[in-house]
């Protein structure tokens, strides 16, 4: 997926076309996403006026006069604004149609994404209540990471990717932040000093901020709200670079598997 920078880039791209507009129809071509689309979704969205498009972690939140819709893009999802007449391609599963004949179209080949109705207080929805702080908020810092990691034996990379610890850091940016912070991805989270966590927290912020500035990372099929790919890929230092020289020491980047996920790191620079 779309990790946080891609979701944020998407949010910024689609918000101007949605806010202030009214939903007049919903077309669901494939209801079987991660969770089946609620049969009542059309009733809930019909004639709703979109007030704001927000983001929490990797969730997009469409706030309307009727309540909020959570949109998660899973591993392969994207949304864009198109004319409602534009012919639907394969995997274009849902159109949220506006009064001006444009629509928000969800495209998701792997169907790990979801559309979930969250009512009038989305922050109390179970998918959002347990999320950790936003990584770009002041509440996320080295002291926070240090405190919540005490006693945890899990590898720091998995810890960073745990949305209950911090919301929105996925595989790419966990790898990148650990490289810049020179921390080995397998190190136990509870065995990292406060000063190293101070550094790591700022590395996470730097990597995410820069990726947002570049419009996100496109590996295969990510496109933003206008259908354009992101540009951050060229700046990735370790992700997807197994065997290539480390930018710091020039020794080869290694790849291993942690759980089901690929981990990239420099065994010489990261400890």
Residues near DNA (CB under 7 A): 1-3, 6, 32, 34, 57-58, 72, 74-76, 90-91, 109-112, 126-127, 130, 151-155, 158, 161, 163, 168, 170-172, 216-222, 257, 259-262
The catalytically annotated residue of 55, 58, 157, 241 is 58
Closest distance to DNA from the beta carbon of 6 (Å): 6
The catalytically annotated residue of 134, 182, 261, 267 is 261
Taking the C-alpha atoms of residue 34 and residue 73, their distance in angstroms, rounded to an integer, is: 10
Q: Residues 156-176, buried b or exposed e (16+ Cβ, 10 A)?
A: bbbbbbbbebbbbbbbbbbbb
Nearer to DNA, 116 or 181 (CB): 116
Dig out the tokens for 43 from the structure. Answer: 């009733």
Nearer to DNA, 114 or 270 (CB): 114
Phi-psi region of 151 (alpha: psi -120 to 50; beta: other; left: phi over 0): left
The catalytically annotated residue of 3, 6, 8, 176 is 3
Our answer to whether residue 147 is catalytic in this structure is: no
Closest distance to DNA from the beta carbon of 57 (Å): 6
Burial class (CB in 10 A: 0-12, 13-18, 19+), 86: middle
Our answer to whether residue 261 is catalytic in this structure is: yes
The 3-state DSSP class for residue 9 equals: helix
Closest distance to DNA from the beta carbon of 25 (Å): 25
Our answer to whether residue 205 is catalytic in this structure is: no
Under a CB-based contact definition with an 8 Å cutoff, are residues 119 and 67 in contact?
A: yes
Closest distance to DNA from the beta carbon of 265 (Å): 13
Sign, CA dihedral 5-144-153-203, equals positive
Helices (H) and strands (E) in the chain, counts: 7, 10
Nearer to DNA, 59 or 66 (CB): 59
Nearer to DNA, 91 or 254 (CB): 91
Our answer to whether residue 58 is catalytic in this structure is: yes
Nearer to DNA, 6 or 8 (CB): 6
Closest distance to DNA from the beta carbon of 3 (Å): 4
Q: Looking up tokens 């999320």, which residue turns up?
A: 131
- Give me the active site residues, please: 2-3, 58, 261
């Amino acid at each position: 997926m779309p990790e946080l920078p891609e979701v944020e880039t998407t949010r910024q791209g689609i918000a101007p076309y949605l806010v202030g507009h009214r939903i007049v129809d919903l077309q669901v071509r494939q209801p079987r996403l991660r969770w089946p689309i609620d049969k009542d979704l059309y009733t809930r969205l019909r004639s709703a006026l979109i007030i704001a498009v927000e983001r929490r972690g990797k969730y997009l939140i469409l706030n309307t006069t009727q309540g909020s819709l959570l949109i998660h893009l899973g591993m392969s999802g994207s949304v864009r604004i198109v004319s409602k007449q534009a012919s639907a391609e394969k995997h274009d599963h849902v159109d949220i149609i506006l009064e001006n004949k444009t629509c928000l179209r969800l495209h998701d080949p792997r169907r790990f994404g979801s559309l979930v109705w969250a009512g009038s207080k989305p922050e109390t929805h179970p998918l959002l209540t347990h999320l950790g702080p936003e990584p770009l908020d002041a509440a996320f810092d080295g002291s926070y990471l240090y405190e919540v990691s005490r006693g945890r034996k899990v590898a720091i990379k998995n810890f960073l990717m745990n949305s209950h610890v911090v919301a929105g850091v996925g595989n790419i940016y966990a790898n990148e932040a650990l490289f810049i912070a020179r921390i080995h991805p397998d190190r136990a989270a509870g065995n990292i000093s406060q000063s190293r966590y101070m550094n790591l927290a700022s590395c996470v912020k730097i990597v995410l901020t820069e990726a947002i500035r570049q419009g996100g990372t496109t590996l295969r099929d990510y496109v933003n709200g206008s259908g354009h790919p992101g540009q951050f890929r060229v700046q990735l230092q370790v992700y997807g670079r197994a065997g290539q020289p480390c930018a710091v020491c020039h020794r080869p980047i290694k790849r291993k598997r942690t759980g089901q996920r690929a981990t990239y790191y420099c065994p010489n620079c990261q400890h």
